Amino acid sequence: ELFTDLCSMIGVAQAASAMHHQVREGHTAPGLVFFFIAFFAIWWAWMNFAWFNSAYDNDDVISRLLTLLQVFGSLVVAAGIPSMFDEDFRLGVAGYSIMRIGLVLLWMRAAAGHPEGRRTAHRYALGLFISQATWIAFLAVPHHLLIPVFVLLAAYDQSVPYLAERAGATPWHPHHIAERYGLFFIIVLGETVLSATTAIQLAIDGEASRAALVSVVIGGVLIVFSAWLLYVAREAADILDLNGYQFVWGIGHYFIYVTVALLGAALALRIDFYAGEPNVSDLTSALLVTAPVAVFLALLWLVCVRPHDASSRTAVPFALAVAAVIASTWTPRPELAAGVVCALLLTAEVRLTSASERPVRAAG
């Protein structure tokens, strides 16, 4: 599992690098669109395998070989990420086909070995087979229809787990799923740090001032550090047992992950602005930092915090933090201001969770 996660990081880094290049060339809107598409391809492949492995992981030789097939397919997808930004999906679809062959075989093995879950496993296998067939047909779609058709096919792909589980729930483990998602979140945060560090190394000998670089370093560290501790402040496994909530929680994480992944390229673009890159403006680079942070905080509350505590005790601090991060766009150092806001929110959240876990003493 950890090895497959490592291979996923390669794809995330490729997507962030390609998006960074697109914005530097002045193609901000297309760069963002294809970044969301590329990240979906990486994340959805990872998520399908993670949930299967939580339910059926017998770790025998055949399972390990089919897992290696997943790894090989994910590497092919990662290799095809840069081409996706040029509207060429052939290598990405080829990688998905390799992974789907392995995953369909894994579901067929699960059907044979678990009679109680046979109908569900067969639905998964059939749904994935049909989905992959449509992705192969997607290669013939005209360029002007790529985006709307991609959205439709992605929506169908995401419906497969819901339709399959209606025949019976798979025996996935809440704590295992929570751990897997947490580890993938670390990978995305790691890519963010890597992107920013690489950009700083390139800018040290350039025209960017030392004060600007320090601002990006401190702001980036505060955002990443706060994002991680905010994410793990509450036990995710406790809410995964809520009836049907696993679908909202599982799929909602796409938007949590993609905003954090976008932050790495955004911090690099902020350094480009300080270094005087002609196609990177102050407002665009600032928004690319603050908007993902604001969306991340809002979604973190909606998906991960609200099921634990939907009261104003959590809603008000998160809402104020979102508003403050957005307002920081127009400050001289938006990345630093956003980092300070995240750190203050973390302080409030830690105090709140500590108070709720504090034992109550009997009177007298």
pLDDT in tens, 93-149: 999 999 999 999 999 999 998 899 999 999 999 999 999 999 999 999 998 899 999
Question: Look-up: residue for tokens 């300070």?
Answer: 340
Q: Indicate the range of 204-213, 216-225, 242-251, 335-344 predicted with least confidence.
A: 204-213
356 or 285, higher pLDDT: 285
Q: Indicate the range of 1-5, 14-18, 232-236, 314-318 predicted with least confidence.
A: 1-5
- Measure the CA–CA gap between 138 and 328, rounded to whole angstroms: 41
Q: How confident is the model at residue 360 (pLDDT cuts 50, 70, 90)?
A: very low
C-beta neighbour count of 3 within 10 angstroms: 11
Q: How confident is the model at residue 325 (pLDDT cuts 50, 70, 90)?
A: very high
Q: Indicate the range of 231-235, 237-241, 257-261 predicted with least confidence.
A: 237-241
- What is the pTM for the complete model shown? 0.90
Q: Are 18 and 88 in contact (CB under 8 A)?
A: no
pLDDT at 208 over 70: no
Q: Residue 237: what pLDDT?
A: 85
Q: Residue 206: what pLDDT?
A: 62
pLDDT at 24 over 70: yes
* pLDDT tens string 50-89: 899 888 877 788 888 888 888 888 889 989 999 999 999 9
Q: Residue 202: what pLDDT?
A: 64
Judge residue 78's burial from the number of C-beta atoms within 10 Å of its C-beta, 0-12 exposed, 13-18 middle, 19 or more buried. Answer: buried
Residues contacting 106, CB < 8 A, separation 6+: 52, 56, 63, 66
- Measure the CA–CA gap between 288 and 195, rounded to whole angstroms: 14
Q: How confident is the model at residue 10 (pLDDT cuts 50, 70, 90)?
A: confident
Percentage of residues of the chain with pLDDT beyond 70? 94
pLDDT at 200 over 80: no
Q: Residue 364: what pLDDT?
A: 36
AA letter at 335: E
- Measure the CA–CA gap between 346 and 281, rounded to whole angstroms: 30
Across 25-54, average pLDDT: 90
